[in-house]
Amino acid sequence: MKQTLPSGDAWRADRKWSLGGSDAAAILGMSKWRGPLSTYVDKTTPYKPETEPAPILFRVGHALEPMMIELLQERGYKARAERPYTITRHKLYPYLHATLDGRVTKDGRRGIIELKTAQHSKAAEWAEGVPPYYYAQCQHNMIVASASWAICACTIGNTDFVVHEVEKSREMAEEWSRFADWWWRYHVIGKREPAPTGADLGTLDDLHAVGSPTTAVMGQDSVVISQRYDELVAEIAELEKEKKDIRATIRAEMKADEVLEHPLAGAWTCRSGPSGKRILRRKK
């Protein structure tokens, strides 16, 4: 079922009553920005109209979407943009929705389009395929839209345009549909908070912004993971020292050269940055 909402506020409010593509990666613990608890809080709190302008990166990405549709058409895809503020809902699971960037046809097969923007520093993540976070989003949206494949395209630093075709995973389609429906009913409808991940730290700070001058006794599970935390801190410190030692060794070997390379080990570069100071970088 597809519905076009009258405004951005109406569209954002409607999205709170079901799980979308970005929620899929968050619930599965694949997102760097949001975790299961953040998703739960978002879905169980009343919608508040946005009073601040959207972030620049988001607005730039939205503005580039018509151009990216044109680039896909130039590559031979029969691509078209989806109407703004349109939400597609799953036929069997009402708690699943998708907001598509577009639809595409190739060799008689109908698919969907996901459009992304990334900085040059993220180029390596897109080199071999769709990053896991966006892969989960593509699979979710294909499930909801009953599509058999998808295009996930991304502009890299406004100079490169990467296009990946993604086939729908039938195994994931069945498992995710059931799991997402259960997650919604158990956590959101049942008012049961899910366990947080590292991506939920900001949400936890917001939920407990006001401190209390009391002391709590640590539970047994927290005792175990606190000890593990101390071990990790020590291991990370050792690894960071080893990393710096390696960089120093490489830099000493390069001297004035800008590139140090080997067929079996990739390359290092050391070129002047904006400030004029040379910057050592690893190239795989």
| Helices (runs of H) and strands (runs of E) counted in the chain | 9, 11
Kindly state the tokens that stand for 31.
């997102």
Domains recognised in the chain with CATH numbers: 2-189 (3.90.320.10), 220-283 (no CATH)
Sign of CA dihedral 206, 208, 209, 215: negative
Residue 151: predicted pLDDT? 97
Which H, E and C letters describe 206-224, residue by residue? Answer: HHCCCCCCCCCCCCHHHHH
How deeply is 16 buried, as exposed, middle or buried, from its count of CB atoms within 10 A (0-12, 13-18, 19+)? middle
Residue 215: predicted pLDDT? 94
Place of tokens 């009953």: 146
- Strand 78-81 with 86-89, pairing: unpaired
- CA 130 – CA 133 distance, rounded (Å): 8
Task: Decide: pTM greater than 0.75.
Answer: yes
* Other Cβ atoms closer than 10 A to 176: 22
Per-residue pLDDT of the chain (284 residues; tens, 9 = 90+): 888 888 888 988 899 999 999 999 999 999 989 999 999 999 999 988 877 887 888 888 889 999 999 999 999 999 999 998 999 999 999 899 999 999 999 888 999 999 999 988 888 899 889 999 999 999 999 999 999 999 999 999 878 999 999 999 988 888 999 999 999 999 999 999 999 999 999 999 999 988 888 999 999 999 999 999 999 999 999 999 999 999 999 999 999 999 999 999 999 999 987 788 899 999 87
Residue 209: predicted pLDDT? 87
**Three-class DSSP category at 102:** strand
